[in-house]
Structure 1
């Protein structure tokens, strides 16, 4: 692996690494924040999945999360949002192709060759982290927008691997909104039944949630609230199966990292409590 950059940050280190990924059939870029406690012992890990058009840089440079990770002794891991490179299929739009991996395993060509972000996040990335850093197998996951969709789906489908989940402005029902319908039909094909494995609302209805409360923050001034996000669908599903959901609608907040930075400390505290031995 290659360390691309390193900055001192709140007593620890904000690093960026690049390594060869089998899942993505190419290189992967990942931000890793090691708080000061990592010099003494293995620490739990919070995985962060970013949204459309983002790279690993958005979260590590805009959210201000390192301060809270240092307070609670949590490693932060923020991968890029898709495979990258000249050999990787792309599309001439922001919501498809590179930067828009949707955290699934594509089954249609040309996407299937590289777009296997689900396997990357669930299997390969934790294995890499736990092999190369002072990280325990106590894991939590969070994300924003497309990444919130990914965090919810991955946590619901792998409840033995993650102790907690949260999200900012997640796409909770991608099979029923334009962003998800475009991505799923392109990456997975027209069989809508196969889409259900990547829909948090459908998964919560089918699988429930056996850990503590799912924390979601949603800005009420978000331009995508009604057309793409529709958090009420997840609230209805949670009520139907008696799943613990804490959905907070935040007046005045939009879809930006100003919103994330305002509440990320509370999210890290939420995960830190769940990640204790």
Structure 2
């Protein structure tokens, strides 16, 4: 692991690092905010389409609240990158759009192994480099990252103490933000669909979701279908529809404090 930068931030340290990933076969960049009085608890923040590690680090407004709660926040990249890595002209496919799955199809299968990266490869690097408690982990994410947070939590119910999401893509097998990408990557969108996984019997840890009623991408998110699945399965989840809020980082920053407090409670 190599240090790119480290800056003082709300009494703690905001760092950016690179490492050679076995999962993707590329160098990957990630960011870590470690508060001055870190408790060892870890919150993984998964970003959305077109983002890198940097977007949420600079725009989501998590650090002040995480510092107060003693939570270390980790911001991974959203895909492998670089020369020789498969890509697409569409903004919602390829580099910047890994959908947090392990690709099995075509050229994507060579590098696009983001599920393994987030759940095994990057944690191995992080827990070796920082004094953190691997038994106290939670997940959050925005948009495509919300999809990743929900599906990874559903697939690993004993791994994460809680999960939250801002405007998540939660029914991708019935959305243009999911059908083309997950079909291309894996051949099976339903296998990576939070609504489908939940109704098939997968269990969520304690869950908090916020979605804006003025989200310009609302029709692509599948919020209503997922809400129905939560009700059907009697899941321990809170889904808030926030009047007038859109899909931007202004929305994320508006409710960041509530999400940090939610995770801090379950990571205590």
Q: Please, what TM-score do these two structures have when normalized by structure 1? A: 0.94
Cα separation, 2, equivalents of 1:135 and 1:98: 30
What corresponds to 1:162 in structure 2? 160
For 1:28-39, what aligned pairs fall within 5 Å after superposition?
28-38=28-38
Q: Could you tell me whether the CA contact under 8 Å between 2:10 and 2:67 is conserved in 1?
A: yes
| CA distance in 2: counterparts of 1:6 and 1:73, whole angstroms | 18
Q: Distance in 2 between matches of 1:69 and 1:218?
A: 21
Give 2:126's aligned residue.
129
| Range with greater deviation from structure 2 (13-22 or 42-51) | 42-51
Residue aligning to 2:2: 2
Counterpart for residue 267 of structure 1: 259
For 1:219-234, list aligned pairs within 5 A: 219-226=212-219, 228-234=220-226
Q: Which residue of 2 aligns with 1:85?
A: 82
Relative to 1, partners in 2 of residues 1:89 and 1:211: Cα closer, same or farther, differing over 3 Å? closer
Q: Is structure 2 residue 116 aligned with structure 1 residue 119?
A: yes
Q: Residue 67 of structure 1: which of 64, 69, 73 is its match?
A: 64
Secondary structure of 2:178's aligned partner? helix
Q: Distance in 1 between matches of 2:191 and 2:16?
A: 31
Q: Which residue of 2 aligns with 1:16?
A: 16
What are structure 2's unaligned runs of at least 5 residues? none
> 2:244 matched to 1:246?
no
SS at match of 2:195: helix
Measure the CA separation in 2 of the matches of 1:29 and 1:112.
Answer: 20
The two structures, once aligned, show a CA RMSD in angstroms of 1.0
The answer to whether the Cα contact below 8 Å between 1:235 and 1:245 also exists between their aligned partners in 2 is no
Q: Which runs of 5+ in 1 are unaligned?
A: none
Match of 2:198 in 1: 204
Q: Does 1:235 align with 2:227?
A: yes
Q: CA deviation at 1:211?
A: 3.2
Q: Which residue of 2 aligns with 1:100?
A: 97
Shift in CA distance, 61/224, structure 1 to aligned 2, threshold 3 Å: same
CA distance in 1, matches of 2:244, 2:205: 30
TM-score (structure 2 length as normaliser) = 0.97
Q: Deviations over 1:108-163 (max 9, x none)?
A: 11000000000001111222211110110110000000000000000010011100
Q: How does 1:153-192 map to 2 (within 5 A)?
A: 153-189=151-187
- Count how many residue pairs are aligned between Structure 1 and Structure 2: 267
- 1:210 deviation in Å? 5.4
